[in-house]
Structure 1
Amino acid sequence: MAVIDLLSPDEKKKASQLTEKIYQSGSIENDDWKKYTTQLTLLYEKAKNRKL
């Protein structure tokens, strides 16, 4: 089972929004992508830990 399958509908929406923000801010000069990647990782970790 993929981690994405563990997300609630609201979490999936949030993950989609974060992914879009990562793509939009993905330049070397802009460090915002690091913040969004961290938020996305924490969202996935929360879902994974909930399943365990």
Structure 2
Amino acid sequence: MAKKVVASLQKATKDRVKCIKMVRSPKTGAYMFKEETMDKSESADFFKQK
């Protein structure tokens, strides 16, 4: 049964990517990682944001 669930999830998520961006914290100055899962077409907008 688990194989069927995994197979159906793979079909639905082929156009999705996980984007990870390193961002500097305004309070401490330390670097943090901001990550999101989104469509491939939205990934360029994600990296353009500050």
TM over 0.5, yes or no? no
Q: Normalized against structure 1, the TM-score is what? A: 0.30
Higher helix share: 1
Structure with greater contact order relative to length (CA < 8 Å, sep ≥ 6): 1
